[in-house]
Amino acid sequence: MLQQIDLGGGFTFPGTSMTVNRVGYGAMQLAGPGVWGPPRDMDAAIAVLREAVEAGVNHIDTSDFYGPHVTNQIIKQALHPYPERLVIVTKLGARRAPDRSWLPALSRQELIDGVHDNLKNLGLERLDVVNLRVGGFSEPLEASIEEPMTVLAELQRQGLIRHIGLSNVTPKQLAQAQSIAKIVCIQNFYNVAQRNDDAFVDDLETQGVAYVPFFPLGGFTPLQSSELNAAAASLKATPMQVALAWLLQRSPNILLIPGTSSVEHLRENLKTAAITIPSDALAELDAVGRSSGRTTKAAH
C-alpha cells in the first residue's frame, strides 16, 4: 500500500464537518485533448486517481462539463464506492457545444439538469460542494448572480447539494451570494504572477472561506520566470513545485487542486507540501507579481 504523505495539513470548510488536506487534485486533465472526449489512456487516468487517494488526497475538483461527462465517469469508475472522507467539488454554469466551445449554462433548467447529471455520472445521491461558475474565461464580470444562486439554494434545500461555492467572482458577487446562502469556497484565477485577488484572498482568510486557485501554474501559458528557476535550484525542486509551494505559504485558506494525467507528475505535485520557501526567496518571488503588472500582498 502507498504510504500517505503530508499534504499541507487540514482545512475545514466554514460551517461544515468537511476537513480536507490542502493539496488536492483537479480532474480536468483526465479528459481528452481540449478537455473533450475520453483520455488517450483510460487505465492511466484511473491509476492517477487511485494513487492520489491512496497518498492521502481527499479533495477532488471536477465538473460534468469536462469531457463532457468524461471526468465524472472516470472518477466513479476509479473510486466508487468513495472513501468516507473524500470531498468531491463540482461546478455548474457552463456547457460544451458540439464544436467543443465553452458556453454559459446559467438558466434555471440548465442548473437543475447540471446537478442531476453530476449526481448520475458521479454515482451520488447528494453533491458535497457545487461551485457556481460565472464571468468570462478567466476574469470575473461584475453582474448580478442572484438568479442562479437562488436556484442552487433551492437545490440545496431539496437535499441535492450539501454546500455551495463560487467560481470566477468578485467580492461584490460574493456578498450578494452570501445574502442568499452560505458560501464555503471561492475558486478564482490566481498564482504567483496573477495577483489581482490578493486583497480578496486576505478578506476570505478572515472569514474562514477557502480560496482555491484555478490555473495555479499559469493554465494554458505555464509560468516562467528567473525568480522561480532560482528558487527551484536552491530548494532542489522544480519551478512548478515552487509555484505551488508559494501558494500554500501565501495564506492558510488556500487549497491546491493541480491537475495531471500522469502518475509521475502527480507525485511531483504531492511533494509540494514538504517544501518551505525561505523568506529571501519569497521576497524574490514577490517580484514575479510586480513584474507581471499585478497587485501584490505587500501593496495592501
Q: Which one, of 197, 161, 152, 182, lies nearest residue 89 by Cα?
A: 161
User: Domain limits of the chain?
Assistant: 12-220+251-260
Length of the chain (residues): 300
Tens-digit pLDDT profile for residues 122-164:
999 999 999 999 999 889 999 999 999 999 999 999 999 999 9
Helix or strand or coil: residue 239? helix
Contact between 204 and 171 (Cβ < 8 Å): no
Residue 186 identity (one-letter amino acid): I
Q: What is the mean pLDDT of residues 101-111?
A: 97
Q: Are 220 and 209 in contact (CB under 8 A)?
A: no
What's the rounded mean pLDDT across residues 14-32? 97
pLDDT tens per residue across span 33-81: 999 999 999 999 999 999 999 999 999 999 999 999 999 999 999 999 9
Helices (H) and strands (E) in the chain, counts: 10, 11
Rounded to whole angstroms, the Cα distance separating 266 from 262 reads 6
Q: How far apart are CA 50 and CA 225, in angstroms?
A: 33
Does residue 239 carry a pLDDT above 50?
A: yes
Name which of 4-8, 56-60, 100-104, 107-111 the model is least confident about.
4-8
Long-range CB pairs of 228-236 (<8 Å, 24+ gap) are: 228/192, 228/285, 228/288, 230/281, 230/284, 231/277, 231/281, 231/284, 231/285, 234/281, 235/275, 235/277, 235/281
Q: What is the distance between the terminal CA atoms of the chain, rounded to a whole angstrom?
A: 46
As a whole number, mean pLDDT of residues 10-28 equals 97
Q: Residues 66, 82, 190, 211: which is the catalytic one?
A: 66
> 296 pLDDT exceeds 80?
no
**Fold of the 12-220+251-260 domain:** TIM Barrel (3.20.20)
Query: How high is the pLDDT of residue 27?
Result: 98
Question: What mean pLDDT value characterizes the chain?
Answer: 93
211 belongs to the catalytic site:
no
Q: Say how far apart CA 184 and CA 173 lie, in whole Å.
A: 14
Confidence at residue 1, expressed as pLDDT on a 0 to 100 scale: 46
Which has more pLDDT, 170 or 296?
A: 170
pLDDT at position 22 is 98
> Residue 3: its pLDDT value, please?
61
Whether the predicted pLDDT of 194 surpasses 90: yes
Q: What pLDDT does residue 300 have? A: 24
DSSP element (H, E) containing 211: strand 210-211
**Left (φ > 0), alpha (ψ -120 to 50) or beta: where does 191 sit?**
beta
Distances (CA, A) of 27 to 49, 61, 87, 90, 107: 9, 6, 13, 10, 25
